[in-house]
Structure 1
Amino acid sequence: MCGKFQLGEMVKSIAGRDTGKYYIVVKIDNEKYVQVADGDKKRLERPKRKNVKHLKPAGFVHKELQIWLSNGKRVRNEDIKKIIKDFVKNEEAN
C-alpha cells in the first residue's frame, strides 16, 4: 500500500484542470499513482489516474467505504457522490 494515501480517503486536487475538486481514492497503483473517483464525471468504472504529488489529503477516511473497497464489495457511484457532497457541506459549515 502507498504510504501517503489509503483506500477510501478523501483527497483534493492541487494541480491540473481539476484543481480544487474533491475525490475519493478507489485504487492504489504504486508509490507515485492512485486512481480517484468522484461518482459523477470520474465514475468507478473509469477512475482518474492521478500523480500523488498533485493530490492533498483532506484529513478524512471513510472507514466503511475503505472496507468495501478492500474486500472487493460493490460500491455505487451514488455512494461516492453522497460521501463527497456531505464532506464538502460539512467543510463549508466550519
Structure 2
Amino acid sequence: METTNDIEIGQVVRSKAGRDKGRVFVVFDIIDDKYVLIVDGDIRKISKPKKKKIRHLIVYKTILNELKKKIINKEKFNNAYVRRALSPFNKEI
C-alpha cells in the first residue's frame, strides 16, 4: 500500500478505479493524506482538476520536474503542456 509520503506534486499516476480507469494523470495538488487533485490536460483540465483518493491510483516513481516547478511557483502553463508531458506514458497503454 502506498503511503502519502511517496506522492508529490508533479508525480505521474494512473487511475485504477472509476470512469477514468486506466488513464494517466499528473498530481496537481495534495489535499490531505487520502486525497489529491489530478489533471491530464484532456478530460481533466487545469481549470477543473479531479479530486481522487490516493488508494484509487497507481503511483509511478516518475516526477515531471519541469511541471512540478511550474505548479509550485504558480507559473502559467496550459493543458497542451500537460498533455505533452504525459504523452510518453499514454503510449505505454
Shared fold (TM-score greater than 0.5)? yes
Distance in structure 2 (CA, Å) of the matches to 1:23 and 1:73: 19
- Tell me the alpha carbon deviations over residues 44-69 of structure 1, each in whole angstroms, 9 at most, x when there is no partner: 00000000000011221111111111
Gaps of 5+ in 2: none
2:34 is aligned, of 18, 32, 35, to: 32
Gaps of 5+ in 1: none
Q: Report how far residue 29 of structure 1 moved.
A: 0.6
Output the aligned Cα RMSD: 1.3
1:53 aligns with 2:55: yes
One-letter amino acid of the structure 2 residue matched with residue 66 of structure 1: K
Runs of 4+ in 1 over 6 A off after TM superposition: none
Distance in structure 2 (CA, Å) of the matches to 1:88 and 1:42: 15
**Partner in structure 1 of residue 16 of structure 2:** 14
How many residues align? The count is 90
Provide the secondary structure at the position in 2 that maps to 1:3: helix
Distance in structure 1 (CA, Å) of the matches to 2:77 and 2:12: 15
Identity %: 31
The TM-score, its normalising length taken from structure 2, stands at 0.89
The TM-score, its normalising length taken from structure 1, stands at 0.88
Provide the secondary structure at the position in 1 that maps to 2:14: strand
